[in-house]
Structure 1
Amino acid sequence: MTQVRELYLGVADTAAELLAAPEVADDWHQPSALAKLSVQGLAGHLAGQVFFIPTVLAEPVPTEPAISIHEYYARVSWIGSDLDTPFNQAIRSGGEDEAADGPAALAARVAACVGELRGILPTAPDRPVRRPTWGPWSIGLDDFIASRMLELVVHCDDLAHSVGLPTPQFPAAAVETVVDLLSRIALRRHGATSVLRALSRAERAPASISAL
């Protein structure tokens, strides 16, 4: 099994544990740390980053050309987009719907899905995959898994902060993979000078180099 798959499964296990925390259930209907998104909606969106893997693997191999993960992030329209775009509205409503059966049911589904993936991913070929909301492209399975790991790490921090829990600790290699992706996105959004200054010079650092 490739390293990114092993890292992803470990991160997904941590996400399942976080979703099962009583603090998440206690604050289920409260606003999350993300604007216009409840804890329920955020939990559902987080869970989706696990459910997406078997979903794309169940689809036929796409005929759209495969691009790199960095090109994927360069093409998507949602990065930095307004919260009220149709895409972001669909993210919020989709998260709420995914979690409609409550926190216990969602956590159990995620744990079961991770268990299923432990049996699938070791031998799954690195074939192209795609989601129906994308443009006319696909990406390799391992790149898709890396992109879902980014989502899991970022949204675990969001969810933990939302309910007053410490951010989960992830393996260093998983965090490094995510930070590598985020730094490349930040370079495209803010330019080399801003990123270099933010990382090296507090005196000249810009207000933000947020990747997403």
Structure 2
Amino acid sequence: MTVREVYLESAAATSAFLRQPAVAQCWEAPSALARMRVGALVAHLVSQVTQVPPALDAPVVDPCVGLGEHWGRSTWTDGDVESEVNTYIRRTASEAAAAGAAALIAEAGVALAELRRRLPDEPDDRVIQLPWGPWALSLDDYLTTRLLELAVHGDDLAVSLGSASPALPPGCLDSALAELCRMAARRHGATAVIRALSRRERAPSTIAAL
């Protein structure tokens, strides 16, 4: 399957997961993430679908970089919940959550329907301007970053609700694992990741990517 096909399947699986009654019932409850309620977490998860159509429409004004450089430039990965970018993410998610579960889930459905029409026709060399830039990614690399978000935050939501994680396609999980390993190696070194995955007696205390 192509990255675009995997993304569409993953977005559909996430949308289905969001329709369980527990999502609306726990909307105001604390989530598994620090300083985020379930509703804000859902809003952030939904944005991994709803942000894609506007990104397809935005003019590309910055140079395109690869995923390695993208992760190196991304400051939200530092784990500091008080950083400016992470504070902004929480604030915008909380504001979006005010619309309520039904509205946000409906928005995700509309965006997914549009993407099913548009993504198959996008050229192989399509470049996307990141809304938070200032840099651009190839469309497939951009969707790869969304797959990571869907996998990680889908599990965050599942833990928040006390349910099993969303049934994401294997391609999504493979992609998320690959990117997390890349990020972990950048932070801790490749040797630490290899040891953590292969040698329990030499494993470091953590290889957390985020």
TM-score past 0.5 threshold: yes
Cross-structure match for 1:54? 53
1:24-52 alpha-carbon deviations (Å, 9 max, x no partner): 11110011001111101100000111011
Taking the aligned partners of 2:207 and 2:129, their CA distance within structure 1 comes to: 28
Letter in 1 for 2:61: T
**TM-score under structure 1 length normalisation:** 0.94
Cross-structure match for 1:191? 189
Q: 1:70, 1:181 within 8 Å by CA — same for their partners in 2?
A: no
Shift of 1:159: 0.4
**TM-score under structure 2 length normalisation:** 0.95
Cross-structure match for 1:18? 17
Taking the aligned partners of 1:81 and 1:6, their CA distance within structure 2 comes to: 31
- Structure 1 consecutive aligned stretches of length 4 or more whose deviation exceeds 4 Å: none
Cross-structure match for 1:40? 39
Cross-structure match for 2:161? 163
Letter in 1 for 2:15: A
Cross-structure match for 2:85? 87
Shift of 1:81: 3.8
Q: 2:28, 2:38 within 8 Å by CA — same for their partners in 1?
A: yes
Residues 42-191 of structure 1 mapped to structure 2, 5 A cutoff: 42-60=41-59, 62-125=60-123, 126-135=125-134, 137-191=135-189
Taking the aligned partners of 2:121 and 2:131, their CA distance within structure 1 comes to: 25
Q: 1:67, 1:139 within 8 Å by CA — same for their partners in 2?
A: yes
How much is the aligned-residue C-alpha RMSD, in angstroms?
Answer: 1.3
Q: 2:61, 2:129 within 8 Å by CA — same for their partners in 1?
A: no
1:2-45 alpha-carbon deviations (Å, 9 max, x no partner): 70010001110111112211111111001100111110110000
The yes-or-no answer on 1:207 pairing with 2:205 is yes
1:118-156 alpha-carbon deviations (Å, 9 max, x no partner): 001010224221224223x21111110111111011100
**Percent of pairs with identical residues:** 43
Secondary structure of 2:94's partner?
helix
Shift of 1:157: 0.5
1:65-124 alpha-carbon deviations (Å, 9 max, x no partner): 111112111111111241111211110111112222111111111112111110010102
Letter in 2 for 1:16: S
Taking the aligned partners of 1:187 and 1:54, their CA distance within structure 2 comes to: 32
In structure 1, list runs of 5 or more residues that go unmatched.
none
Secondary structure of 2:137's partner?
strand
Taking the aligned partners of 2:196 and 2:58, their CA distance within structure 1 comes to: 42
Q: 1:130, 1:138 within 8 Å by CA — same for their partners in 2?
A: yes
Taking the aligned partners of 2:62 and 2:147, their CA distance within structure 1 comes to: 23
Secondary structure of 1:139's partner?
strand
Kindly indicate which of the two structures has a greater share of residues assigned to helix. Answer: 2
Residues paired across the two proteins, number: 209
In structure 2, list runs of 5 or more residues that go unmatched.
none
